Chain A
Amino acid sequence: MSMGDRPYKIVIGLEVHVQLLTESKLFCGCSTKFGAPPNTQTCPVCIGMPGVLPVMNRKAFELAVKTGLALNGEIARFSKWDRKNYYYPDLPKGYQISQYDLPICRGGYLDIPAEDGEGTRRIGIIRVHLEEDAGKSMHDEKAGRADSRIDLNRAGTPLLEIVTKPDLHSPTEAKTFLTELKLLLNYLEVSDCNMQEGSLRVDANINLHIPTDDGGHVATPIVEVKNMNSFRAVERALTYEAQRQYEAFLETGHKLGDVPKQTRGWDEDAQITRPQRSKEESSDYRYFPEPDLVPVTITEEELERIRATLGELPAEIRRRLQTTYQITAYDSDVIVNQGRAFVDYYCRLAQGCGDGKMAANWVQQDVLRTLNERQWTIAQFPVSADNLAELLRKVRAGELDTAKARMVFAEMVEQRCSAAEAVQRLGIVQVDEGELRRLCEELVAANPRVVAEVKAGKDKAIGSLVGQAKKRNPNVNPARVKEICLELIQRQA
Chain B
Amino acid sequence: MTSLNRFPFDTSVTELLVALRDGRVTSQDLVQAALAQIERYDRRVGAFLAVRGEKAMDQAREVDRRRARGEKLGPLAGLPVAVKDNLCMEGEPTTCASRMLARFVPPYDATVVARLKAADAIIIGKTNLDEFAMGGSTETSAFQKTRNPWDLERIPGGSSGGAAACVAARMVPLSVGSDTGGSIRQPAALCGVTGLKPTYGRVSRFGLVAFASSLDQIGPLAQSAEDCALLLEVLAGHDPRDATSINRSVPPYREVISHRPESIKIGYVPEMLSDGVSPDVVRTMEEALNVFRSLGAEIREVRLPHARYAVATYYIIACSEASSNLARYDGVHYGYRTDEKAMLAELAEERRRLQQEGNLAALDDLDTALVRLYRKTRAEGFGAEVKRRIMLGTYALSAGYYDAYYLKALKVRRLIRQDYDRAFETVDMILGPVTPAPAFRIGEKINDPLAMYLFDLFTVSGNLAGIPALAFPAGLSTEGLPIGVQLQGPPLSEERLLQMGHLFQQVTDWHRRRPPLIEDSPQPA
Q: B-contacting residues of A (Cβ < 8 Å)?
A: 44, 47-56, 83, 85, 87, 89, 92-95, 150, 284, 286-288, 291-294
Contact = CB atoms under 8 A, between A and B. Distances in A.
Given A47-B333, A50-B210, 9 more contacts: A44-B108, A53-B242, A54-B243, A55-B240, A55-B241, A85-B324, A95-B324, A286-B399, A288-B320
24 contacts: A49-B107, A50-B88, A50-B94, A51-B205, A52-B206, A53-B242, A55-B240, A85-B327, A87-B327, A87-B330, A87-B374, A92-B332, A92-B333, A94-B326, A95-B324, A150-B332, A286-B323, A286-B324, A286-B398, A288-B402, A288-B406, A291-B212, A291-B244, A292-B243
A49 B106 contact: yes
A59 to B, nearest CB: 15
Nearest to A81: B243
A312 B313 CA distance: 52
B327 A93 contact: yes
B209 A55 contact: no
Contact of B209 (A50, A92, A288, A293): A50
Contacts, number: 98
Contacts of A92: 328, 332-333
Contacts of A87: 327, 330, 374
Nearest 10 A-B pairs (CB), nearest first?
A: A94-B327, A291-B213, A291-B214, A286-B397, A50-B209, A51-B209, A51-B207, A284-B399, A51-B88, A48-B328
B374 A50 contact: no
B68 to A, nearest CB: 36
B367 to A, nearest CB: 11
B394 interface: yes
A288 B324 contact: yes
A351 B397 CA distance: 63
A300 to B, nearest CB: 23
B96 interface: yes
Nearest to A45: B241
Contacts of A93: 327-328
Nearest to A135: B333
A53 B398 contact: no
A83 B243 contact: no
A110 B260 CA distance: 66
Most chain B CB inside 10 Å of its own CB: which residue of A47, A52, A55, A83: A52
Interface string B94-115: 1010000100101110100000
B208 interface: yes
A411 B445 CA distance: 93
A352 B240 CA distance: 53
A292 B244 contact: yes
Nearest to B320: A288
B370 interface: yes
A284 B206 CA distance: 29
B321 interface: yes
B334 interface: yes
Contacts of B406: 288
A284 B243 contact: no
A44 B106 contact: yes
A51 B106 contact: yes
A89 to B, nearest CB: 5
A53 B397 CA distance: 22
Contacts of B213: 291-292
Most chain A CB inside 10 Å of its own CB: which residue of B107, B210, B320: B210
Given A92-B328, A94-B330, A286 B207 contact: no
B320 A50 contact: no
A47 B107 CA distance: 12
Interface string B332-365: 1110000000000000000000000000000000
Nearest to B96: A50
B328 A94 contact: yes
Interface in B215-272: 240-244
A47 B330 CA distance: 13
Given A87-B374, A286-B398, A293-B243, A50 B327 contact: no
A23 B213 CA distance: 28
B331 to A, nearest CB: 10
A44 B241 CA distance: 12
Interface string B178-211: 0000000000000000000000000001111110
B324 A89 contact: no
Contacts of B324: 83, 85, 94-95, 286, 288
A229 B190 CA distance: 62
B204 to A, nearest CB: 9
Given A44-B108, A94-B327, A288-B324, A53 B88 contact: no
Nearest to B373: A89
A148 to B, nearest CB: 8
Given A55-B240, A288-B406, A49 B334 contact: yes
B405 to A, nearest CB: 11
A56 B243 contact: yes
Contacts of A150: 332
Given A87-B327, A291-B214, A48 B240 contact: no
A48 B370 CA distance: 19
A52 B207 contact: yes
Contacts of B330: 87, 94
B243 A294 contact: yes
Contacts of A44: 106-108
B130 to A, nearest CB: 16
A122 B241 CA distance: 43
A54 B108 CA distance: 15
Interface in B41-69: none
A310 B484 CA distance: 61
B489 to A, nearest CB: 23
Contact of B370 (A49, A52, A89, A292): A89
A83 B321 CA distance: 10
A287 B244 CA distance: 20
Contact of B332 (A83, A89, A95): A89
A53 to B, nearest CB: 5
A54 B334 CA distance: 19
B394 A286 contact: yes
B207 to A, nearest CB: 5
A48 B243 contact: no
A47 B207 CA distance: 14
Nearest to B240: A55
A287 B326 CA distance: 15
Nearest to B407: A288
A288 B87 CA distance: 25
Interface string B448-486: 000000000000000000000000000000000000000
A294 B328 contact: no
A366 to B, nearest CB: 54
Nearest to A283: B399
Nearest to B374: A87
Contacts of A50: 88, 94, 96, 101, 104, 106, 209-210, 328
A85 B321 CA distance: 11
A30 to B, nearest CB: 14
Nearest to A285: B399
B205 A85 contact: no
A54 B242 CA distance: 7
Contacts of A56: 243
B328 A53 contact: no
Nearest to A92: B333
A403 B501 CA distance: 97
